[in-house]
A = this chain, B = another copy of it.
């Protein structure tokens, strides 16, 4: 059976690439309403892929861009897998930095260069092509697949949660699969089993009722910028450890097993520093760089403003100042509890003469799929087949809101199987996707449907 499947992949390689190029020509920029027609063209393209395979497919209208939903027939005794992906792409600015037009895909050094190549058209397509291989070769899939391919991932996914909630029963599945991230390195595939959460705030301080002259009033009137720097500085120590009382109370310590796994990864700290142009790294004491990035909470100020930002000198004692800042959260921190503790702490830091407003920009909790999850081994075996090497288990410092949505609404875990690379220029000019990775991804996906069916059968 696998001979036939692999032969099919080999025979259709060139066509798969041509189809990807075709898909990448669609300028489906979801955040810019000038591109609405192109976004719809993207939805139609994905829908056509599914219908050509004989899958039930539907373009579901939302208040924004449509979601493409497709499913294959149920397979008795086998699990159901929900594949999430997105057909929309990031804007292209700065356009002048692109070496070739973003929607005119070109082949270069084994890559395909175009906006959306890795994020997420190329990666998402691997699961459609693997499905095609099963259907065209064997006539059916070993499991049931449900595809949710949205068109607003790059513009806030506002209509995804309502869709998931409205179709909860229809979307029922045993596990979700998302390919929208990266391998550990160009030569080391990975499974991402953890994401950090996020709690994002904005602090607005007001002092006097108007901008004042710093000579006439300086020394007696509390300066909102001085206060802001004091309050923000108090939120973390110089090593980056958060100083909000109770902040670490619920933090689940990293297991020794995980710490060993992280330590075993061939992470090149010198190359990392060089790539970012910094002479030194910093962070919470007692933790490695990977631990700090993947599995420890953080405090980062994302923006700050106040007073005079122009050229030269202006002796103003400003009326207002503000900042945006956020905490990355880890298991088992809860965003709402962090928000309460933060507010309490900030109030104790507020001096006389300053008023504060704390805006909560929302939060998402962290997600960790237990390494013991029954589908994790299936994914590892499939990736070994596709990439010729077993994956390592990694975490990611950022947040992917859909993953916690799937957990909360559909009560399922997600396998994050990234086929991309760190240097794929996601969200940047000259986005690319390695074509070898594209084919390895298709092959891994092809084996994944089989392994999930097998692992499940074994566990019954």
Contacts and interface: CB of A to CB of B under 8 A. Distances in A.
A302 interface: yes
Copies in the complex: 2
Contact of A301 (B283, B293, B307, B397): B307
A218 B324 contact: no
A353 B307 contact: no
A223 interface: yes
Contacts of A136: none
Interface in A229-288: 229-230, 232-234, 236, 238, 240, 276-284
A55 B166 CA distance: 91
A220 B302 contact: no
Given A308-B303, A315-B200, A293 B218 contact: yes
B215 A398 contact: yes
Given A215-B328, A292-B220, A397-B218, A300 B280 contact: no
A32 B394 CA distance: 60
A219 B279 contact: no
A313 B238 CA distance: 24
Contact of A313 (B234, B297, B361): B361
A94 interface: no
A233 B225 contact: no
B324 A226 contact: no
A370 interface: no
Nearest to A280: B352
Nearest to A351: B282
A198 to B, nearest CB: 7
B219 A240 contact: yes
B313 A308 contact: no
B282 A220 contact: yes
The CB with the most chain B CB atoms within 10 A, among A200, A212, A219, is that of: A219
A301 B361 contact: no
Given A220-B292, A281-B221, A302 B200 contact: no
A218 B313 contact: no
Contacts of A200: 313, 315
Given A313-B324, A351-B282, A361-B313, A301 B223 contact: yes
Contacts of A281: 220-222, 352-353
A236 B229 CA distance: 10
B328 A307 contact: no
A222 B378 CA distance: 38
A307 B302 contact: yes
Contacts of A396: 215-216
Given A233-B229, A304-B229, A283 B316 contact: no
A215 B198 contact: yes
B316 A302 contact: yes
A326 interface: yes
Given A216-B293, A292-B220, A277 B208 contact: yes
A223 B328 CA distance: 14
A289 interface: yes
Given A223-B300, A233-B233, A301-B229, A315 B198 contact: yes
A188 interface: no
28 contacts: A196-B215, A198-B215, A200-B315, A213-B398, A214-B300, A215-B328, A216-B396, A219-B240, A219-B328, A220-B283, A221-B276, A223-B301, A225-B302, A226-B301, A230-B233, A232-B233, A238-B351, A279-B353, A282-B352, A300-B317, A302-B315, A302-B316, A302-B317, A303-B308, A303-B309, A303-B316, A304-B305, A304-B306
Interface of A: 196, 198, 200, 202, 207-210, 212-223, 225-226, 228-230, 232-234, 236, 238, 240, 276-284, 289, 292-293, 296-310, 312-318, 321, 323-324, 326, 328, 351-353, 355, 361-362, 396-399
